[in-house]
A and B are shown apart, each in its own frame.
Chain A
Amino acid sequence: MDISQLQLDSDGKLRHFLSIDGLNRQILTDILDRADSFLDITHRINKTVDLLQGRTVINLFFEASTRTRTTFELAEKRLSADIINLNIATSATNKGESLLDTIRNLQAMQCDMFVIRHGMSGASQFIAQHVAPHVAVVNGGDGWHAHPSQAMLDMYTIRHHKKNFEPLRVAIVGDVMHSRVARSQIHALNMLGVHEVRVIGPKTLMPTDIEKMGVTVFHKIEQGLKDVDVVIMLRLQNERMQGAFIPNQAEFYHTYGLTAERFTLAAPDAIVMHPGPINRGVEIESTVADSKHSVILEQVNLGIAVRMAILAMTIRTSGEASR
């Protein structure tokens, strides 16, 4: 089924939250506005509301995750949901059969929502196509395909600092090829109407025809950073640094590391973001990561409000839940 049909109901409201692709500017803005209303709550002493009271959310993680899982869990707790956390390591054989069987078994426990992370691109969409009508699926990251909640919290962080998306130049630096975060960010930035999205990295880390997603490609970071308002550094995974995609860490830092010197090429009030966890001295110099321009830790906190918004907007309301 078409990804937008799967994600939106006939009234244009969220049914599942799987990918930024297939959503629209209004929905993205609604999520950001809704996050605003939850941000106040996170500053109160009593941080819970009862929007998801009596509802069961299962966090189903087939891949390791620290911050995505914990911030989803916190968001769920603050919405008063009942939570089950399942970390399932995928076995090499027969993993698929167990995937649908796992889903059906959990569904039989009358759960209302799955938050899913899976190593295969399209896994969340696949699961969304096979869950019962009363169950909503939220993608917590699938393969190299999408990580839409991360992208939304990044958009939220950008809006928090820059107010208006239209005039912005945004640069995404590093391993775009293997990054679900980058793909979701590119969709979201273009949907929200930024002036320019740039991707910076060597050809080995750039997927074919990436320009067709609405970005400008730079291989030299000095050119790509010029006058940008937002710099998003991507995480480079250890296994990709061993000579297959780039020669080594030192060479990567030499060519693409965000040093204080390079950062001066960006606009004077530019912000630096990173989905974490950061590799200091590999992608980013500590003085930049810890500078006033860095919003990396803030991203984590804002992420809770954004994930609360996504959960609240995606869960079926009681009327729809009746079977």
Chain B
Amino acid sequence: MTTRLITNAHIVDPAQNLNKVADLAIEDDKILAVGTLPESFVPETIIDGTGKYLFPGLIDLAVNVTEKNMAQEAAVAAQAGVTSMCCGPTISSVIDAVAEASLVQKSRINDGAKIYPVGALSIGLEGEKMTPMVALKEAGCIAFSNGTGSIKDTRVRRRCFEYAASFDLLVLIQAADPWLAKDGCVHEGMISTRLGLPAIPAEAESMEIARCLQLIELTGVRAHFSKISAGRSLDLIAKAKAKGLPITADVAIHHLWLTDMDVVDFNSVYHVQPPLRSSRDRQLLREGLREGVIDAICSDHCPVGFDGKMLPFQDSVPGIAGIETLLPLSMRLVDEGLLSYSQLIEKLSTNPAKILDLPQGGQLSAEQPADLLLYDPNETLRLTEENIGSSGHNTPFMHWDFNGAVTMVMVDGSLKKGSLSS
């Protein structure tokens, strides 16, 4: 039996409405107690949390990895304070068969963040036949999605939703009308016009959301909209929530910081799907986040190799390797007064756990797995080519200076970052 004690840390756990300096005891892989400790508890190790924040480990709803880089990226995630991550399906790694889900499950035996595979909603993401969702769920799939492509045939889509609803399975939707978004690589607006790049209008997203909402209402499926990028999508989501539809939504962290103006030099590092939108959209996304229309922030981490980005913009592979800057960029939202620490942890941990309906995780109460991190607001962080951990160096946030840094991370009580010497 291993016993550890984190002392005097500022514990922020929205799930318990906890926001105070206290101690936290860990026994093996679980949290034993918070605040008042059992009299019999004798820690083998004491970690001094003075001047630091103690947060539940982050739960990232969108990480794009392949079998090949999965272990590395999971390790990098843990270093960055992400203790759980949802992966796939992507075109290169579709999880539409039980064997593949098991494979992903096996990769949970890694030294990093916990991996929750997301199964494909349709076979091969082709939008024609549904996958064996129940068997996939039993093999470990936490939710189902059709990746970045939608199920064009609305009858097939309806049946996928109905089937998922029958077993209370969660469906993740990255909304983009396949025709309006076809061949596009940037937001439609002044920038796409200047650069002569094929564009994706904001309506590609909002129209698809509107169509999905009708089907969600019809089928009763639990649905989560991933990576909302357009301000005009928020009204639809807010109204549907007010109506009581079982929906939630997230935003990718880079959409809260970047806009289509960043694309102006054809720099392929800013090529993402959905595309970076206008500064007005960014403002509306931030407001939506604060007001709770958007429930969670994800990294949409997508490591792309050098060759994938060393191309003319249109030909380059979309994606930002964002997991290492998920927390630092989110913390800037606190610095700017948009969110409190507690609201931020809700978006990064508490709500993702609720959305995924995880039996455990996303909180720091007794009996919960010891997935947690210490954050020192007085440290600083700068991502460089030398210290970046991801296999992809495709981040526009390279060389940004961040206040605050993660100093200690545990996944199931096992130390992933920091040392016990203190």
Contacts and interface: CB of A to CB of B under 8 A. Distances in A.
Contact of B199 (A126, A143, A208): A208
A144 B190 contact: no
Contacts of B192: 207-208
A144 B307 contact: no
A215 to B, nearest CB: 10
Interface in B215-241: none
Interface in B302-317: 307, 310-316
Contacts of B264: 3
A96 interface: yes
A126 B193 contact: no
A120 B265 contact: no
B243 interface: no
Q: Which among B195, B311, B312, B315 has the highest number of chain A CB atoms within 10 Å?
A: B312
Q: Which among A1, A120, A121, A212 has the highest number of chain B CB atoms within 10 Å?
A: A121
Contacts of A97: 307, 310-311
Given A96-B307, A146-B196, A208-B199, A122 B190 contact: no
B197 interface: yes
A126 B314 CA distance: 11
A21 interface: yes
Interface in A166-206: 180, 183
B346 interface: no
A120 B193 contact: no
B124 interface: no
Interface in A93-129: 95-97, 99-100, 118, 120-123, 125-126
A213 B195 CA distance: 11
Contacts of A123: 312
Contacts of B194: 21, 183, 213
Given A121-B312, A121-B313, A122-B313, A144 B196 contact: yes
A210 interface: yes
Contact of B197 (A95, A121, A209, A212): A121
B338 to A, nearest CB: 28
B333 to A, nearest CB: 28
B265 A100 contact: no
A145 B195 contact: yes
A208 B266 contact: no
Given A121-B266, A209-B189, A209-B190, A96 B315 contact: yes
A261 interface: no
A11 interface: no
B194 to A, nearest CB: 7
B295 interface: no
B196 A96 contact: no
Nearest to A176: B193
Contact of A122 (B193, B195, B199, B310): B195
Given A144-B197, A146-B196, A126 B190 contact: no
Interface string A1-36: 111000000000000000001000000000000000
B189 A122 contact: no
A96 B265 contact: no
B351 to A, nearest CB: 35
B322 interface: no
Contact of B188 (A2, A96, A208): A208
Interface string B310-341: 11111110000000000000000000000000
B312 A208 contact: no
Interface string B231-271: 00000000000000000000000000000000011100000
Nearest to A123: B312
B314 A122 contact: yes
Interface in B392-422: none
A97 B315 CA distance: 10
Nearest to A187: B194
B314 to A, nearest CB: 5
Contacts of B312: 96, 99, 118, 120-123, 126
Given A143-B314, A208-B190, A2 B265 contact: yes
B217 to A, nearest CB: 32
Interface in A23-69: none
Interface string A223-261: 000000000000000000000000000000000000000
B274 interface: no
B394 to A, nearest CB: 14
Contacts of B352: none
B201 interface: yes
A118 B264 CA distance: 19
Shortest 3 CB-CB contacts between residues of A and residues of B: A144-B196, A122-B266, A96-B311
Interface of B: 188-190, 192-199, 201, 264-266, 307, 310-316
27 contacts: A1-B265, A3-B265, A96-B311, A97-B307, A97-B310, A99-B311, A120-B313, A120-B315, A121-B195, A121-B197, A122-B195, A122-B197, A122-B313, A122-B314, A126-B311, A126-B312, A143-B197, A145-B195, A145-B197, A183-B194, A207-B192, A207-B193, A208-B189, A208-B199, A209-B189, A209-B193, A212-B193
Given A3-B265, A125-B266, A180-B196, 12 more contacts: A3-B264, A96-B315, A121-B313, A122-B195, A122-B313, A145-B195, A145-B196, A208-B192, A208-B201, A212-B193, A213-B193, A213-B194
